A = this chain, B = another copy of it.
């Protein structure tokens, strides 16, 4: 076993918040809290045996997905992974439709046909998730290709995990994107593990971003638990892409606050590593920064949190009250006329 400690977190100094508008900062925080509380609720519903299927929670990775999605425009698109709840909420999928989807209800964002592994909503630019590792990377390039052909100045962002960078589809996608100068951002959520497999057991280099050079694309590795850092990196990559300068690879170092999926205790992770990373929880860190800023009163933050909790409870009520799809719908939506 290789040494794991090379991956203990190195937390950069927090940048000042002044340059950012209060609305943006508030929304960053709100979406992170929304994702955190949504995932905790989902976990609880599972433990109660109420929720069907399987789940891969994004607890701990909120700063990366929120920083990335808020750096995009509303008509930009993202592709989601098997760990897609956070990505979906970050891009603006409604908590109601998401929760209903997890319950397999007709009011779900995919009418109950998708489930946790395939959540998404095209109307907010979230392509329903692809759960096959690596498979979404060329599809993101293809959406970017369409944007480029139509000169819409939209951008596509492909979320993927560090374990995904060993799949052939990913490689072919990055090469095509760089070759054809497509407006796509490859965004790696490097949480150090693919299921139980540490990155050092899956590749003989230190960082996924080192691969960018192999395609002739810029690559960078950043701290992923600060939404501002992620926001800035994605913003400039997206600007660059819109300007016609092609794709970029951004690797965000972050950490799962739990196992790979619901039933995984995650005990393969060394205690030292878990403890060090758990201290980097993005949400309290960002709250503290907000509270140090005059524009945010403690009470406002608390109201915001309360509103999020209420919204999540409402989403559960909504989902539970929704109808299951009609049996006949099993035969629908295969072909379009």
Contacts and interface: CB of A to CB of B under 8 A. Distances in A.
A210 B203 contact: no
Contact of A168 (B172, B179, B216, B217): B172
Contact of A205 (B203, B205, B215): B215
Interface residues of A, number: 22
Interface in A117-176: 166-172, 175
Say how many copies of this protein the assembly contains.
2
Contacts of A175: 166, 203-204
Contacts of A168: 167-172
A291 interface: no
Contacts of A213: 205, 210, 213-214
A297 interface: no
B202 A179 contact: yes
A211 B166 CA distance: 14
Nearest to A212: B214
A178 interface: yes
A193 to B, nearest CB: 16
20 contacts: A166-B171, A166-B172, A166-B175, A167-B168, A168-B168, A168-B169, A168-B170, A171-B171, A171-B172, A175-B204, A178-B203, A179-B201, A179-B202, A203-B216, A205-B214, A205-B215, A205-B216, A210-B213, A210-B214, A211-B214
Given A167-B168, A179-B202, A203-B215, 15 more contacts: A166-B172, A168-B170, A171-B171, A171-B172, A178-B203, A179-B201, A179-B203, A203-B216, A204-B215, A204-B216, A204-B217, A205-B213, A205-B214, A210-B214, A213-B213
